[in-house]
Amino acid sequence: MSAEADLAALGQRLLDPAAPPLERFAALEDDASDVRVFVAARHDVVSGVLSEEPVFSLRHYDELLEQVLPGTRYLVGEDDAARRVRLRQLHAAQAWLDARRNAPASGEPPNMAPGFRDWIGAIAREEADAILDVLQRRASTGEAVNFAREYAFLIAYRMARRIIGVPAPEKVPGLVKMIVIWRNVMRPGPWLRFKDELGDSVSMLVMLQPLFGHVFGTVVNSPSALQGLTRHTAAPALAAIEKALAAPESAPEDSLLSALVAVKPQFSDVADYNLQARSVLFELIGALVLIVGKSLSEIAAFAASPVGAAAGITWDNLVARLADRNISLKDHDATVNEMLRLAVSSRLTRTVRTDCQWRGVDLKAGDRVVVLMDPASRDPAAFAQPGQFNPDPARPYITSGPLQGPHVCYGRGIAWTIMREAIAATQGRIAPAPNTKIAIFAGLPDDLPFVACRR
């Protein structure tokens, strides 16, 4: 069995209530270091690891970023003074955007407020319609639509352009070009080209993907080849943000970038304001372009597959449900979360701070704990009939990270809104091709054939 298959089997074994909360998994360890690796899979254990920050730190994310892009940090990192500055920046920028829209106070945090989400939803509808207007012309020729590239990743990129406000670099870096050419040679079907916004979305994705692999895919050490690739691909994206911060007039007036520039006078105490703001924008662009595009593709692939039908959800069903304006936002969120639970899998890592015993397991400072979101999202102790589509706002959806504590996903309301609107907007416009199947390239969705519907 491969290490991946062993890890999946371990994930299943750890769901047994009688199994230990954590188990060591040497196949993820590195001969060159003495760091031990443990695995968590049960929902309650994964929840604990993700939210008990005094025991489990996020410092390896900081270290991995420092390796390739010195000075850059994510909010997903140690809760130090610089992170608190970035959080203040994000909250001040959000407040500035809310004030511009005269947003009424709601009982929700600003990033989850219904008014904010309505604003995101209206932009997402506009962007989805604009893309679908172009794709639907193919109804007359029968040319296939690549849902992943031409819809999911494109709308995710266009939303990042609109609400975050950073454009793709003017010049496509040479290495990015080579990666796309490699993809074009290896994959059947039309070539990806560097023109229009589709080209921008492709280059932005290629710039961010190695970085996400390096930061979120590394458990102990990242291979030096990946580090080199990451430096060359991610640095131009960071440079584009710096340039945009210096010329904010090129960004949409109601974007986060404009907001961060507008609130700068509130931060006279912060000497490296732009460095921290650059990090905030960089993290949000990555989450939007990469995670939303990937999740949307995977949700569509699941709903259009026999596995989705066996789980009780079809694509038509999903679209009709999300297009129904009589269903509450809470219930739409539950539908999107249920799809994320069934269709999307991920892993996160934490580092043990000090020698300790946690839930009866002896841990050493520096040990890594890998949490497997897939089994945690199908743990029968947390989800009755875990393989079935059964959306319920009361379910403890962990797919968007910790359910409480300082690292709750900031963009979950944005993501759920965009995905809802993107799926609903396809009604009567594009639909899965018969027997459609997702194709993966270099770890990301590359194609999911759809067809344009005749009006």
Contacting residues toward ligand HEM, per CB under 6 A: 50, 75-76, 283-284, 287-288, 291-292, 295, 340, 348, 399-402, 407, 409-412, 414-415
Contacts of 241 (CB under 8 A, 6+ apart): 166, 278, 281, 282, 285
Residue 230 or 297: the one with the smaller Cβ distance to ligand HEM is 297
Q: 329-343 vs 293-303: helix axis angle to the nearest 10?
A: 80
Q: To the nearest whole angstrom, how small is the minimum distance from the Cβ of residue 420 to ligand HEM?
A: 11
Residue 85 or 452: the one with the smaller Cβ distance to ligand HEM is 85
Residue 180 or 419: the one with the smaller Cβ distance to ligand HEM is 419
Alpha-carbon span 175 to 192, nearest angstrom: 15
Residue 396 or 433: the one with the smaller Cβ distance to ligand HEM is 396
The residue whose Cβ lies closest to ligand HEM is: 411
Residue 52 or 331: the one with the smaller Cβ distance to ligand HEM is 52
Contacts of 152 (CB under 8 A, 6+ apart): 292, 293, 294, 296, 297, 300, 422, 445, 448
The strand pair at 145-146 and 449-452 is best described as antiparallel
Instruction: Give the count of beta carbons closer than 10 Å to the beta carbon of residue 325.
Output: 8
Task: Name the β-bridge partners of 363.
Answer: 356
Q: To the nearest whole angstrom, how small is the minimum distance from the Cβ of residue 399 to ligand HEM?
A: 5
Alpha-carbon span 198 to 291, nearest angstrom: 17
Alpha-carbon span 361 to 21, nearest angstrom: 8
* 446 neighbors 440 (Cβ within 8 angstroms): yes
Q: To the nearest whole angstrom, how small is the minimum distance from the Cβ of residue 419 to ligand HEM?
A: 7
Q: To the nearest whole angstrom, how small is the minimum distance from the Cβ of residue 414 to ligand HEM?
A: 5
Q: To the nearest whole angstrom, how small is the minimum distance from the Cβ of residue 363 to ligand HEM?
A: 18
Residue 284 or 301: the one with the smaller Cβ distance to ligand HEM is 284
Q: To the nearest whole angstrom, how small is the minimum distance from the Cβ of residue 139 to ligand HEM?
A: 30
| Burial class (CB within 10 angstroms; exposed 0-12, middle 13-18, buried 19+) of 194 | middle
Alpha-carbon span 258 to 407, nearest angstrom: 25
* 399 neighbors 337 (Cβ within 8 angstroms): yes
Q: To the nearest whole angstrom, how small is the minimum distance from the Cβ of residue 407 to ligand HEM?
A: 3
Residue 180 or 241: the one with the smaller Cβ distance to ligand HEM is 241
Alpha-carbon span 287 to 111, nearest angstrom: 15
Residue 322 or 415: the one with the smaller Cβ distance to ligand HEM is 415
Identify the H or E element spanning 447: strand 444-447
Residue 333 or 447: the one with the smaller Cβ distance to ligand HEM is 333
Q: To the nearest whole angstrom, how small is the minimum distance from the Cβ of residue 283 to ligand HEM?
A: 5
Helix (H, G, I), strand (E, B) or coil at 4: helix
Instruction: Give the count of beta carbons closer than 10 Å to the beta carbon of residue 61.
Output: 22
Residue 144 or 389: the one with the smaller Cβ distance to ligand HEM is 389
CA 283 to each of CA 131, 133, 263, 399: distance values in angstroms, whole numbers, following the listed order: 25, 31, 19, 18
Q: To the nearest whole angstrom, how small is the minimum distance from the Cβ of residue 417 to ligand HEM?
A: 9
Q: To the nearest whole angstrom, how small is the minimum distance from the Cβ of residue 53 to ligand HEM?
A: 10
Supply φ then ψ for residue 39, to 5 degrees. -120, 140
Supply φ then ψ for residue 447, to 5 degrees. -155, 145
